[in-house]
Amino acid sequence: MIIDKGSGYLNFEIKLLNIKKITLTKFNSLQIFQFLRYGTFFLISILLAKIAILYQHEYGLHMVAQYENLLLVSSSLTFFWVSAICNTLIPYYNNADPEKKKKVLFNTFVLLLLFSMIAAIGVVIIGVKDGRDQNLFNMFALVVLLNTPTYITDYIFYLRERYRSLIVWGTVTNLAQIILLCLPLFFKQSLNLAINLLLVLSLFKFNYTIILLMKYSTISVQTRMSKDFLMKAMPIMFSILLAGSMEYINSYIVKYNFPEEQFAIFRYGARELPIFLIFANSLSNIFSGEIARYNSEGKIDEALHKLKRSGVKLMRWMFPLSILLMFVSPYMFKYLYNDEFIEGYKIFNIYLLLIISRMLFPQTVIMGLMKNRIFYLISTNYLVINGLLVFWFIFLFGISGIAYATVISYLIEKIMLVIYCRMEGINLSRYTVISEYLIYSAVTILAFYVSLNFQLPI
């Protein structure tokens, strides 16, 4: 795509990244951006673990636990509605006429801002009840208030097909986040100072978002449109809340039932590598929009075929990568983090089994068809099943039981969504290469069993 060099926005982008020769598309640009975002969180976790070594052992783990606690609280109050609004925005925007598209962008920002205010208040209240780090919670509440609405900036660049601007924006802001958080801690400054610097970054991002909205959107609050948008987003929001809440509930269970050190170890182990989330989520987001567009033109088979083709390509290297990581994860945790966190690899290996569920994309088809109401029922079932399994497995396997319960429950949810798609006349074979999927899944489970029983010396 040709960039308008006279626009005055991010004109330094090509020189900064030197990506002139890279062809960015709506498919790979979102994946690269998600890699930058998730990669930042992953890199920060590594850097904090290394920085913790500079302190005395007890304080180092305490500092990491403090930061993980802030992330846990803020994420648990924002993850479901941010994901739902962003997932709804792409197909909703693609179905709108040019003038309505401008109004959609601004009203989406308004919704994000309103929800951010509620979440920020929630962070303050939890900080008061926590009592120990109330000042940290108050400052982080302001970060949530200012930073969360800026998610619309990512989608303004993406939906306006300014793909290089999207990558530059992600590079600059995520690099700034790493520096402003980790550099003060490296010089043994307080976590409070680091959070204050993140607040400055959030204020910059918020102001830049306002500038983009003034250029690319129509500044007009559309109550009817916002209600219609929320009606489309609410089933997804409810689904993500129920399905994703167990991840946070699990962390709270560990926090209040295990020592602080175990909480930090669990949080480090109970996360997937960014690359898995990036490609699975971005593929789903992109093709939900594609299915919506092709379906409106009566060409849904073409969209499903494209999803099937892209899905099998992803499968052919994500499954082997997961298998490889099962055997090298002890070394990753030893050398990327430090000896205090090494036990987290056992939780990490269990979470690698989530790749089996992530390579199924029935939710993509459902969102593309705007049949979102089914998420209410299926996600409720998921929450009940996951809750029962967690409390059962925690007595059988300890902390590892929480991870096993998550993997099994998530697979059951995907199977239910596959069944619903079949009821809508869309069989699994239309958007998944079933034979390869089953073979890869079986080999992955076998590799996990081998990694448990034949561990290489660390």
C-alpha of 33 from chain center: 12
Q: What type of residue sits at position 88?
A: T
Q: Model confidence at 105, in pLDDT bands (50, 70, 90)?
A: very high
97 burial class (0-12, 13-18, 19+ CB within 10 angstroms)? exposed
Q: Both tokens of residue 360?
A: 């199924």
Residue 398: name the closest of 243, 268, 254 by CA: 254
Contact yes or no for 431/307 (Cβ under 8 A)? yes
Question: pLDDT higher for 247 or 414?
Answer: 414
Mean pLDDT for the stretch of residues 341-362: 86
Task: Report the pLDDT value the prediction gives residue 333, as an integer from 0 to 100.
Answer: 79
pTM of the model: 0.69
pLDDT over threshold 60, residue 440:
yes
CA distance linking residue 306 with residue 349, whole number of Å: 31
CA distance linking residue 74 with residue 199, whole number of Å: 14
Task: Report the pLDDT value the prediction gives residue 99, as an integer from 0 to 100.
Answer: 86
Task: Select the highest-mean-pLDDT range: 48-62, 83-97, 275-289.
Answer: 83-97
- Residue 219: count other Cβ atoms within 10 Å of its Cβ: 12
Name 196's Cβ contacts closer than 8 Å, sequence gap at least 6: 139
Task: Select the highest-mean-pLDDT range: 133-137, 160-164, 205-209.
Answer: 205-209
CA distance linking residue 374 with residue 317, whole number of Å: 31
* Half-sphere exposure at residue 203, Cβ-oriented, CA atoms within 13 angstroms: 9
Task: Select the highest-mean-pLDDT range: 127-131, 149-153, 224-228.
Answer: 149-153
Output the average pLDDT for the chain: 82
Task: Report the pLDDT value the prediction gives residue 372, as an integer from 0 to 100.
Answer: 72
Q: Model confidence at 59, in pLDDT bands (50, 70, 90)?
A: low
Sequence ranges of the domains in the chain: 22-221, 238-458
Task: Report the pLDDT value the prediction gives residue 5, as an integer from 0 to 100.
Answer: 38
pLDDT over threshold 80, residue 116:
yes
Q: To 5 degrees, how large is the angle CA 111–CA 112–CA 117?
A: 100
Mean pLDDT for the stretch of residues 125-137: 83
pLDDT over threshold 50, residue 166:
yes
293 Rama sector, left if φ>0, alpha if ψ -120 to 50, beta otherwise:
alpha
| Per-residue pLDDT reduced to its tens digit, 384-415 | 888 788 888 888 887 788 889 889 988 998 99
Torsion of CA 371, 375, 381, 387, to 10 degrees: 160
| Per-residue pLDDT reduced to its tens digit, 172-231 | 999 999 999 999 888 888 888 999 999 999 999 999 999 999 999 888 888 899 999 998
Name 271's Cβ contacts closer than 8 Å, sequence gap at least 6: 42, 45, 348, 351
Task: Report the pLDDT value the prediction gives residue 15, as an integer from 0 to 100.
Answer: 42
Backbone φ and ψ for 372, nearest 5 degrees, come out as -75, -15
Name 432's Cβ contacts closer than 8 Å, sequence gap at least 6: 308, 311, 312, 359, 360, 361
Residue 300: name the closest of 368, 236, 374 by CA: 368
